[in-house]
Amino acid sequence: MPPAPSVQQTLIRDLPPRALKAAVEAHGRYLKGLPGGTRANLSYVDLDNVNLEGVDLSEADLTGARLSGALLSAARLNRATLYGADLRDADLRGAQLARCDMRGACLRGANLSGADLSGCDLREGITATQDTVEGFKILAHRARRGELDYAVARGAKLAGAQMGVGFAQAADLSDADLTGVSLQGARLNRATLNGADLSRANLYNTDLTGASLRRAVLVGADLVGASFEGADLAEVLRAPPPLVYVDDAPLHEILEAHELYVSSEGRDGTAARIPSVDFRPLRRLKGRRLSGLSAPGAILFGMDLQGVQLQGANLADADLRGVNLRGADLRGARLVGAQLARADLSGAKLGPLTIAQGRVLRTDLSRATLRGADLTGASARRVRLIDADLTRCKLDGCDLTSAELPEGFGGFGPEPGPVGGGLGALAGLTP
């Protein structure tokens, strides 16, 4: 007599490709409120290695689904239920997972780079079943030989997420947005949080022993009782002073004198040369005329610089992460080594600046970090991007004619799958 099937075997069900395609189509109608629409129920379905790139499965039920190795880049899974799902080695780059229920999901080896996990529930959870053969049984995702034991969440948005200790411990959270996240009492020893934004995060009694927090942002974070022994806190950004003075002069007066110098073509005012200054107390420099400003190593994190004029400015090694530079004029600016992760440079002018007849000054972004930056529609002719980091950079409509690009740069990143139901991704599946 053959042995009775295990609970795990009977719980997971197969779904033919045609049935999966039909479920996705019906779900698309459900989301649009059209006749014949049905919310997709893919709970405990075997979807290992399936191609669902760009598919819209927002609000779908994927409880306990097997999605190991699945292609889900750019997929829309907002408010979906992924409780206890197996997402090991899944490609979730740029996926939308806002307000998902991901309690107990297995994310070992999953790539969540640039994904939106804001408001997501990533706490621990278990799935249990009971039958007459094995009785009460807790289902677990067993470790596999050679698999990664951590998730990659570089540049992911986790603002307002409820994070379990297990996820935070076993994830690369470099450049992640963790604003307002509660990690109270968590053990994050040796965690990777380089460049992460932990503004207003609750780190009360958190163990960060040996953690890597280079360039992390801790503005407004609750650090009472937190342990940082052996942690790498190089270039950590804390709250700015209420006022900034340079040689006994208030910063705002120095900039006013510089604007006068620019508008009078050097007849009045004084050109500002202010290295390593923290501009954050000013909060915004929107539309200001600051051409030729020399402020290498400046801190402008998160500021509003929309439409600012910074032609020929020296902002080498400046911290411009998350800065609004929409429509800014940066022609001829020196931005070597600048930190521009998550900066908005859409529509910005990054082309050459004419300084005399037949002479131009090129914008230099060599060795700059532009991870997750938005250069949509920017004019970047002849820009220098040697050794720059363009990971997850949005370059739609960006003019890079004759630009000096990083070695090995092969375009605008991986092509996402079809969007709007994602049926093209399923079309190649055979029954």
pLDDT in tens, 240-266: 999 999 999 999 999 999 999 999 999
Q: How confident is the model at residue 288 (pLDDT cuts 50, 70, 90)?
A: very high
**Could you tell me if 363 and 422 lie in one domain?**
no
CB atoms within 10 A of CB 9: 8
Does 231 map to a domain? no
CA 360, distance to chain mean position in Å, is: 35
Residue type, 312: G
Mean per-residue pLDDT for 316-329? 98
Name the maximum alpha-carbon separation found in the chain: 99
**Could you tell me if 362 and 390 lie in one domain?**
yes
∠102-92-19 over CA atoms, to 5°? Answer: 80
How far is it, in rounded angstroms, from Cα 327 to Cα 335?
A: 17
- Which tens digit of pLDDT belongs to each residue from 127-163? 544 444 554 444 554 554 444 457 889 999 999 988 8
What is the three-class DSSP state of 299?
strand
Does 56 map to a domain? yes
CB atoms within 10 A of CB 181: 28
**Could you tell me if 386 and 276 lie in one domain?**
yes
Does 378 map to a domain? yes
Q: Is pTM, for the whole model, over 0.75?
A: yes
Q: Pick the residue with more confidence: 135 or 56?
A: 56
The count of domains in the chain is 2
State percent of the chain over pLDDT 90. Answer: 78
* Residue 153 main-chain phi, psi, to 5 deg: -130, 40
How far is it, in rounded angstroms, from Cα 334 to Cα 348?
A: 15
Residue 407 pLDDT exceeds 80: yes
**Could you tell me if 375 and 431 lie in one domain?**
no
**Could you tell me if 279 and 380 lie in one domain?**
yes
∠83-85-89 over CA atoms, to 5°? Answer: 140
**Could you tell me if 11 and 100 lie in one domain?**
yes
How far is it, in rounded angstroms, from Cα 174 to Cα 279?
A: 24
Does 159 map to a domain? no
**Could you tell me if 122 and 248 lie in one domain?**
no
Residue 234 pLDDT exceeds 50: yes
**Could you tell me if 132 and 275 lie in one domain?**
no
Q: Which CATH number belongs to the domain containing residue 133 in this structure? A: 2.160.20.80
Does 75 map to a domain? yes
**Could you tell me if 431 and 349 lie in one domain?**
no
**Could you tell me if 371 and 426 lie in one domain?**
no
How far is it, in rounded angstroms, from Cα 97 to Cα 74?
A: 10
Q: What's 249's DSSP letter?
A: E
The residues facing 210 across adjacent strands are: none
pLDDT at 185: 87
DSSP E strand stretches across 260-411:
353-356, 359-361
Structure token pair of residue 368: 């700059």
pLDDT at 414: 40
DSSP E strand stretches across 113-240:
121-122, 127-131, 135-139, 151-152, 162-163, 171-172
Q: Are strands 171-172 and 151-152 parallel, antiparallel or unpaired?
A: parallel
Mean per-residue pLDDT for 313-323? 98
Does 360 map to a domain? yes
State percent of the chain over pLDDT 70. Answer: 86
Does 254 map to a domain? yes
How far is it, in rounded angstroms, from Cα 213 to Cα 233?
A: 5
Q: How confident is the model at residue 188 (pLDDT cuts 50, 70, 90)?
A: confident
In which domain, by residue range, is 315 found?
243-400
pLDDT at 417: 39
